[in-house]
Structure 1
Amino acid sequence: MSAATLHRRLCTAIGTVAALAALAGAASAQSLAPPPLTNLPPVVTAPVNAPPLVVPSVGATIPAMRPPAPDVLPSVEREYRRLRDARLPPSNCNYLGNGRTCAKLWVIDDWRTVSRHKRGKAQRESLRRVPARAAVQRNPRLAIADRDHVPDEVLIEFGGGLSDSQLRALARRHRLTRISIDNISLVGTRIGLFRINDRRSPQAVARAVATDNRVRAAQANFIYTLQNDAAPAAADNAMLYPQARLRLPEAHALARGRGIVVAVIDSGIDIGHPELSGAIADSFDPLGRKETPHQHGTGIAGAIVARAKLTGGAPAAQILAIRAFSESKAGSQSSTSYLILKSLDYAAGHGARIVNMSFAGPRDPLIARGVASAAARGIVMIAAAGNAGPKSPPLYPAALPGVIAVSATSPGDTLFAASNRGPQIALAAPGVDILLPAPGGKYEMMTGTSFSAAFVSGIAALMMERNPTLAPDQVRAILTQTAHDRGPPGRDDLFGAGEADAFAAVSRVERLAVPPVAEPAGEPPAVATAQPAVPGDAIEMPSKVDEKVVAPAQAELPGR
């Protein structure tokens, strides 16, 4: 073979290999190319008459890549926005599977706290608090704060026929220590006070004890506090304004409360104070320990029966002094359900016609039963509305049915700023900057709904002297119908029916059909017993009073 022929064949082979490599690269680039784009200028193709290009076979061809699936991110984002902005109705379920499955919702400690474990230790983190009203509706036990009851005591009401050995066995079974057990005739039951031997709550113990068929009921031993804000002050004519505002001098010309016993369930009373000389009919101390007299109890008694240099609402009435309040660890005067129930029982059994309750606390089933039973016996129940302010819920016993709740007014005919408000308010009376007796023969200026209630208790004693047959509902009706309207026209939640008027109330009683009971001359005043009102005694608003109004006398100011 010549050299020229060999050179020609070698050049042909090289050209063929180059052409095959170019065709393979073009095919690979076409398979990896993206989808064709639109809005591009037309591609110039080869002429129709051009000879076809022959591509030699080089084995299996490379398959084209699968086109991508539709993008799901926009639909996911739309669903997220829909769920984020949707108003979800209240539910007890966490619905799964398009509403086909109801999974329980887990609530931790009423949304107040949650435990988080970090480094092996549990940490408590505060969360947003539920509004108080919503929390109470979801769990009524939340309304009972720790400060509202004695944390390590429980009250148990027993049925009849339970022996001492059975009581001891019951106490051992529930890990309790008996403190005291009393028969409360006012509610016809037997009440025991027990101490809890471990750290269980009174509510948990009460639920466990109540499962025993020999136990009628069990509850916490609630705490009540006196409603005053006392401060020493010098004598001033302005502090004697309640006498003129209530028209007490005019009312005392008609009645002075003779023969009416008013039970004062309060702190210790200084029975040796000159203002209370001869005014104490009896005394009772359910606490059973010696304590010095306190300014609140002494002031309450003075607002009712002061008779020396000051003049109370009913200076001839008698006080049944019941000391149920004593100084707590916090320095304030407080009492408990157990002590107050015993005090109510004593008052009902010792001739009290009126019970003054110048204290406030939580709702208590036992106290509610005691108050209802006393009212059913014809005893007038009068209570301070409370000094917790306008945002406070109703306090008890003022908010109980059958109780005359009294709010406080100031010298300027305005409502005491800290006075409770609500539909339970029956009427108002002066209760700001009142000069009243204090322990040790002293006098102090005192403020609070406590003293407003005491003045109304004195007015009720004047009314019952004129007509001892008055029922509690009649006393309430007369007091509210003769009150001076304050605030917005008509009844309101601040002043109730208005500010009390002693002269108008006593004058109204005089116009009733039943005459007052005459007392034998030369004998001590008898205690009037509760009797139902005579049917047909109409309680109507009096027309113009014919009696001549006596100008209020200037009271002699006490020396300091």
Structure 2
Amino acid sequence: MRSPSINIQSRLPTITPTVVAPRIDPNIVGRGADIGSGRNIPSLRSACTAAERDSGECSGQSANATGGGGSGHGTAKNRSAGSRGNTLQTALDQRGIANELVAEIDGSLSDTQADELARRHGLTRLQSQNFPLIGSTIGLFRVTNRRAVDTVSREFATEAGVRSVQPNFRYVLQEQKTELTEGDPAQYAVAKLHLPQAHTLAHGANVTVAVIDSGIDINHPELANSIAASFDALGSKEGPHVHGTGIAGAIVAHARLIGSAPAARILAIRAFGVASNGAESSSYVILRGLDYAVAHGAQIINMSFAGPKDALIERGVAAIAGKGIVMVAAAGNAGAKSPPLYPAANTSVIAVSATDAQDKLFSASNRGGYIAVAAPGVDIFLPAPDNKYQMISGTSFSAAYVSGLAALMLERNPGLKPVEVRAILMKTARDLGPAGRDDLFGAGEADAYAAVQAAAAPAVPVAGGSSPPAVKSAPDQQDAPATRGLEQPASATLASGKPADGDPKPAAQ
């Protein structure tokens, strides 16, 4: 087996779009065995756990775009995809973390007063803090007297010092572990998105992308010198996770692989903790991540997760939109029959659906009028913790690629507003499916080269589908991963200097 023909110049790699990608023996991949050394990819990690196999979370399937779906049609793979969608929707229907609620409380209350207020209603205050992003003090509370959460919420909301109460909603990462069949082309997304051509114009330099996700392996060679800062919104001691590491890689990989914006800076924000079927988070923790991202200069926020409509997170999203920060989110992996998932369905967020190497829609991808564009998200070859690699699917990774495209655009034109970024991405997308915009692909598959060209002069009408120029390959330098002179600061901590003891733990799905 030969390694990907990825050529690296003195600083950043350039990839010829006509390269024939390798095919990987699925048996070797499944064992997570080393598949070479030196110039070869060191190892490929199978991200599928026993628990995920049991729950049907380990296979992905593409749907014929003209057929409008695929889960539930014929094959075992399609039936498995339908099972995955049902599993995710069941998790979303659970909505909130058991026996927890979040409330906006009077910021003038001392901790003692807030604790006494909680005790009167059979609650324990787990933690609370002021969120400059929304100008409010939010507390996280747990019901301790076995009363119904709805009943306690209604009564708690009548207190003079309480301004609003809601469930602590559950959010899940939008990934689907895949079973390899005959092997999968590595990094087909590079050619699909016209990244080599786009990288002749921009690499995402001096653009900061916040990744609110599970733990990122900041020591992975693909991410070297790309992490501007780290923050653990969970206050946990968990190690890096496959999802967060893969998301960061889709954006900034620059060693043997190539991300969509290899020179961008990443704010690595852990907001998702390991749970029985992947990783999950909550309203309170995600708000902490959003607050940190804005306070630390994020120009783009990648949100590869999904949950129900959530008043607290909607407030955060509205505040971020008001600051002119671009937000990109995964459309969701709950399938054709799913209701809109958030934050992707928020009108201020760029929602991204997933396609495969044949430009068909990922069967688990959500549909809807809120989809802006599509991007590759099936069998995506990305870094994994411990210097390994993985093949994985989901709208999460489509969103990450588009976050990188936005970084290229902002390098080209730092004055672009979020609405202009969305408009350019949609106007320059390559139409897929029925003619014009549709609920599967939005405006079509994102085109990095056309978008970056248009970003230089957004007021000028842009013709979509422009043909990119040929990109010359550089001499093979795969043994020397490219790096950039970004300073890598120490990991950030909470405002108190240490994690709060009462940080919510991930609940089992």
Which range, TM-score by smaller chain? 0.7 to 0.9
- Unpaired runs of at least 5, structure 2: 1-89, 480-509
Q: Which amino acid in 1 is paired with 2:324?
A: G
Separation in structure 2 between the aligned mates of residue 236 and residue 546 of structure 1, nearest angstrom:
29
Contact 2:374-2:441 at 8 Å conserved across structures: yes
Distance 1:245 1:428, change over 3 A: same
Separation in structure 2 between the aligned mates of residue 199 and residue 281 of structure 1, nearest angstrom:
44
Q: Which amino acid in 2 is paired with 1:227?
A: Q
Name the residue aligned to 1:540. Answer: 461
Displacement of 1:510 in angstroms is 1.9
115, 118, 142: which is aligned to 1:171?
118
Name the residue aligned to 1:343. Answer: 289
405, 422, 434: which is aligned to 2:368?
422
Q: Does 1:222 align with 2:143?
A: no
Name the residue aligned to 2:419. Answer: 473
Contact 1:233-1:444 at 8 Å conserved across structures: no
Q: Does 1:253 align with 2:200?
A: yes
Contact 2:430-2:464 at 8 Å conserved across structures: no
Q: Percent identity?
A: 58
Question: What does the per-residue CA deviation read over 1:185-236, in whole Å, with 9 as the maximum and x for residues that have no partner?
Answer: 1000000001101222332222111111221101100010011123486997
Distance 1:326 1:553, change over 3 A: farther
Name the residue aligned to 2:471. Answer: 550
Q: Which amino acid in 2 is paired with 1:183?
A: N
Q: Which has the higher contact order (CA 8 A, sep 6+)?
A: 2
379, 386, 400: which is aligned to 1:454?
400
Distance 1:146 1:506, change over 3 A: closer
Contact 1:225-1:335 at 8 Å conserved across structures: yes
Separation in structure 2 between the aligned mates of residue 285 and residue 252 of structure 1, nearest angstrom:
32
Contact 2:131-2:138 at 8 Å conserved across structures: yes
Q: Does 1:442 align with 2:363?
A: no
Displacement of 1:372 in angstroms is 1.0
Q: Does 1:299 align with 2:223?
A: no
Per the alignment, in what secondary structure is the counterpart of residue 302 of structure 1? helix
Q: Which amino acid in 2 is paired with 1:455?
A: Y
Distance 1:144 1:384, change over 3 A: closer
Contact 1:280-1:321 at 8 Å conserved across structures: yes
Whichever of the two has the greater Rg, that structure is 1
Displacement of 1:339 in angstroms is 0.3
Displacement of 1:470 in angstroms is 0.7
Q: Which amino acid in 1 is paired with 2:292?
A: Y
Contact 1:260-1:461 at 8 Å conserved across structures: yes
Displacement of 1:144 in angstroms is 10
Separation in structure 1 between the aligned mates of residue 417 and residue 147 of structure 2, nearest angstrom:
44
Per the alignment, in what secondary structure is the counterpart of residue 361 of structure 2? coil
Name the residue aligned to 1:110. Answer: none
Q: Which amino acid in 1 is paired with 2:175?
A: N
Separation in structure 1 between the aligned mates of residue 165 and residue 91 of structure 2, nearest angstrom:
15
Question: What does the per-residue CA deviation read over 1:461-510, in whole Å, with 9 as the maximum and x for residues that have no partner?
Answer: 00000111111000000000000010000100000010000000000012
Separation in structure 2 between the aligned mates of residue 172 and residue 150 of structure 1, nearest angstrom:
20
Separation in structure 1 between the aligned mates of residue 93 and residue 440 of structure 2, nearest angstrom:
29
Contact 1:236-1:557 at 8 Å conserved across structures: no
Q: Does 1:355 align with 2:301?
A: yes
Contact 1:356-1:383 at 8 Å conserved across structures: yes
Displacement of 1:145 in angstroms is 6.7
327, 334, 337: which is aligned to 1:388?
334
Distance 1:326 1:165, change over 3 A: closer
Separation in structure 2 between the aligned mates of residue 371 and residue 350 of structure 1, nearest angstrom:
16
Displacement of 1:547 in angstroms is 7.7
Q: Which amino acid in 1 is paired with 2:409?
A: M
Separation in structure 1 between the aligned mates of residue 152 and residue 461 of structure 2, nearest angstrom:
52
Per the alignment, in what secondary structure is the counterpart of residue 338 of structure 1? helix
Name the residue aligned to 1:289. Answer: 236
Displacement of 1:151 in angstroms is 1.4
Displacement of 1:168 in angstroms is 2.3
Separation in structure 2 between the aligned mates of residue 310 and residue 235 of structure 1, nearest angstrom:
21
Q: Which amino acid in 2 is paired with 1:358?
A: S
- Report the aligned-residue RMSD: 2.4
Question: What does the per-residue CA deviation read over 1:316-340, in whole Å, with 9 as the maximum and x for residues that have no partner?
Answer: 0011000010112x24200000000
Separation in structure 2 between the aligned mates of residue 374 and residue 268 of structure 1, nearest angstrom:
23
Name the residue aligned to 1:484. Answer: 430
185, 190, 196: which is aligned to 2:137?
190
Distance 1:326 1:556, change over 3 A: farther
356, 359, 377: which is aligned to 1:431?
377
Distance 1:540 1:553, change over 3 A: farther
Contact 1:432-1:447 at 8 Å conserved across structures: yes
- Unpaired runs of at least 5, structure 1: 1-142, 513-537
Question: What does the per-residue CA deviation read over 1:36-90, in whole Å, with 9 as the maximum and x for residues that have no partner?
Answer: xxxxxxxxxxxxxxxxxxxxxxxxxxxxxxxxxxxxxxxxxxxxxxxxxxxxxxx
Structure 1 residues 134-213: aligned runs within 5 Å: 147-213=94-160
Separation in structure 2 between the aligned mates of residue 461 and residue 455 of structure 1, nearest angstrom:
10
Contact 1:250-1:551 at 8 Å conserved across structures: no
Separation in structure 2 between the aligned mates of residue 235 and residue 195 of structure 1, nearest angstrom:
49
Contact 1:249-1:553 at 8 Å conserved across structures: no
Contact 2:97-2:169 at 8 Å conserved across structures: yes
Contact 1:231-1:444 at 8 Å conserved across structures: no
Name the residue aligned to 2:5. Answer: none
Q: Does 1:494 align with 2:444?
A: no
Displacement of 1:311 in angstroms is 0.4
Question: What does the per-residue CA deviation read over 1:230-282, in whole Å, with 9 as the maximum and x for residues that have no partner?
Answer: 34869977222100010000000000000001000000101111100001000
The TM-score normalised by the length of structure 1 is: 0.67
Separation in structure 2 between the aligned mates of residue 164 and residue 348 of structure 1, nearest angstrom:
26
Per the alignment, in what secondary structure is the counterpart of residue 94 of structure 2? helix
Contact 2:450-2:464 at 8 Å conserved across structures: no
Per the alignment, in what secondary structure is the counterpart of residue 283 of structure 1? strand
Contact 2:428-2:464 at 8 Å conserved across structures: no
Contact 2:300-2:326 at 8 Å conserved across structures: yes
Distance 1:231 1:154, change over 3 A: same
Separation in structure 2 between the aligned mates of residue 243 and residue 231 of structure 1, nearest angstrom:
20
Count of residues in Structure 1 that have an aligned counterpart in Structure 2: 391
Q: Does 1:464 align with 2:410?
A: yes
Distance 1:173 1:447, change over 3 A: same
